[in-house]
Amino acid sequence: MLKRDSQFCHRVEPFPDPRLGGLGRRDFLYRFGSGVGSLALSSLLHKDGRLQAALTDTSQADNPLAPKKPHHPTKAKSCIFLFMAGAPSQMDTFDPKPALNRYHGKPVTRVYGSLEKRMYVGCPFEFSRYGESGTEVSDLFPKLAHCVDDMAIIRSLHTSVETHEPATYFMNTGEAIPGSPSVGSWVVYGLGTENSNLPAFVVLPDEKTMMFGGAANWSNSYLPPACQGTQLNSVGPPIVDLMPAGEISHQRQRRNLDLLRDINGEFLDSNPGNADLLGRMQNYELAFRMQNSVPDAVNLGDESRDTQKLYGLDNKISEPMGRRCLMARRLVERGVRFVQVYSLGWDSHGNIAKEHRRRGQETDQPIAGLIQDLRERGLLDETLIVWGGEFGRTADNHMSFFRSNPGRDHNKSAMPFWLAGGGVKGGTVLGATDELGIKAVEDVYHTHDLHATILHLMGLDDYDLTYYHSGRFKRLTDLGGRLISEVIA
């Protein structure tokens, strides 16, 4: 029998239907749907190579950092992302525009909310050809220029926003607002790590100023907490408060952690779906192991004088970036999956000749040294290096800046990027911008395409690398990216 519930006006079933094996109709549909869902989940787990681990090894199933097989064979095991925050200029680094010099000082009218008087700005740097590939590089990078045969330079990339903080989020997470996982977190989620005593994703910030958007740029967001980037300092203690107070011995700390694990474990047994608690417990253990592993990993005193000089540690201008690049090499050498190195100060609205020159002096030797060192150690083929900022820069400048010290403003329509190392077709120059470098016009690619290519070179398919959150499967590239196949070996 069926009756009508007058309060809600819908059909309800007062007793089980014997035709459905004693189940109510709604209960039958619910259990049927759960069964179909379980089959679908099993298929997805099998496709990701996680079903066997979940069935045979609960420690693997509970550990989001357990090593995982890539979606396809790949050379790269680690990635070093060199983020040039503030946005380097394409026409002053890797995209020569001789026509722009002919327009230098000539007026141009462009609309930026209102009509502004603007002047074209020629390039104050000289370009020359280098390597067997004959790639043109600015004299900002006299050392890095000799590495062009290892590099694939993309001149035709563009992005979606041109304000620093949203654009930095977009380059790091694929979204212009904070709250999404970073590219490093996605890589770690997809591949795990090969060193359980160090963070899988490490961030080496530039100490001279604050980063646009701060730690949201290396957030795990809705991915497991263990996928979040861990910030290490290149000067002073690598992690603040990493070591216990002097009166607390190693043995006492171990006993304290064991007690905390037992208490949390009892609660976790009754709340097995509490991923945040599990992640916190795992992070406590990782922090304990890091007390021995981190100081060793960042101890640059272990390096020879020649190696330190290779990275520019003998020069006070290049020394800070040199320390970060050398730390990055030591970390990937120890199995860290993803390292992000920041260089700030590329936002040259005024005096680009002085400011970009300074940034070149800070980064040229360290980055060239990183490539050379990885190559000599046999690590370059298994380490992907990514270089670039959050957007590009304009060919013109506001009249007030031009009259004093000309610079360049923000430009989302063209930006310079290059890749090197594992799986990259070295000696490649891809795409083109227009005559003045304002807009990408040939072989045009978007930031989502860059992300898809980074994942591909790390052995991951951006369409298959998903996480169910807020009612749908999400990915780094949103609706998917297009592989930049021209830079893939």
Q: Tell me the CA distances in angstroms from 4 to 7, 14, 18, 29, 466, one per residue in order.
A: 9, 10, 21, 20, 43
Backbone angles phi, psi at 474, to 5 degrees: -110, 155
Mean local confidence (pLDDT), 347-368: 97
Is pTM beyond 0.85? Reply is: no
Query: Could you give the dihedral angle defined by the CA atoms of residues 319, 205, 226 and 370, in that order, rounded to the nearest 10 degrees?
Result: -40
DSSP 66-100: S----SS--S--EEEEEEETT---GGGTTS--HHH
Backbone angles phi, psi at 151, to 5 degrees: -110, 150
- Looking at the structure of the chain, the number of domains it has is 2
The answer to whether residue 455 is domain-embedded is: yes
Q: Do 318 and 396 sit in the same domain of this protein?
A: yes
- The CATH number of residue 116's host domain is 3.40.720
Mean local confidence (pLDDT), 44-59: 45
Q: Do 212 and 356 sit in the same domain of this protein?
A: yes
Higher per-residue confidence, 187 vs 256: 187
CB 120 within 8 Å of CB 103: yes
Q: Do 19 and 103 sit in the same domain of this protein?
A: no
Q: What is the pLDDT of residues 218-241, one digit of tens each?
A: 999 999 988 999 998 867 666 655
Q: Do 309 and 450 sit in the same domain of this protein?
A: yes
Q: Do 173 and 31 sit in the same domain of this protein?
A: no
Chain CA centroid to CA 272, Å: 31
Please give the biggest Cα pair distance in the chain: 89
Q: Do 132 and 31 sit in the same domain of this protein?
A: no
The answer to whether residue 281 is domain-embedded is: no
User: Which residues on adjacent β-strands are paired with residue 117?
Assistant: 109
- As a whole number of angstroms, the distance between CA 278 and CA 265 comes to 9
CB 93 within 8 Å of CB 84: no
- As a whole number of angstroms, the distance between CA 395 and CA 122 comes to 8
Q: Do 32 and 109 sit in the same domain of this protein?
A: no
The answer to whether residue 380 is domain-embedded is: yes
Mean local confidence (pLDDT), 158-175: 97
Q: What is the pLDDT of residues 275-314, one digit of tens each?
A: 777 777 776 666 666 666 677 788 899 999 999 999 999 9
pLDDT bin (cut points 50, 70, 90) of residue 265 is confident
> Which residue range(s) make up the domain with 93?
79-238+298-487
Q: What is the pLDDT of residue 383?
A: 98
CB 268 within 8 Å of CB 277: yes
Structure tokens at 405: 């010290």
Q: Do 357 and 212 sit in the same domain of this protein?
A: yes
For the chain, how many residues are written? Answer: 489
Q: What is the pLDDT of residues 54-99, one digit of tens each?
A: 433 334 456 888 999 999 999 999 999 999 999 999 999 999 999 9
Q: Do 84 and 226 sit in the same domain of this protein?
A: yes
Q: Do 459 and 347 sit in the same domain of this protein?
A: yes
Higher per-residue confidence, 260 vs 133: 133
Q: What is the pLDDT of residues 110-125, one digit of tens each?
A: 655 455 688 999 999 9
pLDDT bin (cut points 50, 70, 90) of residue 422 is very high
Q: Do 327 and 190 sit in the same domain of this protein?
A: yes
- List, in sequence order, the alpha helices (H) in 140-226: 164-173, 183-191
> C-alpha angle with apex 94: 91 to 96, nearest 5 degrees?
50
Q: Do 6 and 140 sit in the same domain of this protein?
A: no
Structure tokens at 202: 């490490």
CB 196 within 8 Å of CB 334: no
The answer to whether residue 187 is domain-embedded is: yes
Structure tokens at 3: 């009756």
The answer to whether residue 284 is domain-embedded is: no
Q: What percent of the chain has pLDDT over 70?
A: 79
pLDDT bin (cut points 50, 70, 90) of residue 404 is confident
pLDDT bin (cut points 50, 70, 90) of residue 37 is low
The answer to whether residue 4 is domain-embedded is: yes
The answer to whether residue 266 is domain-embedded is: no
The answer to whether residue 5 is domain-embedded is: yes
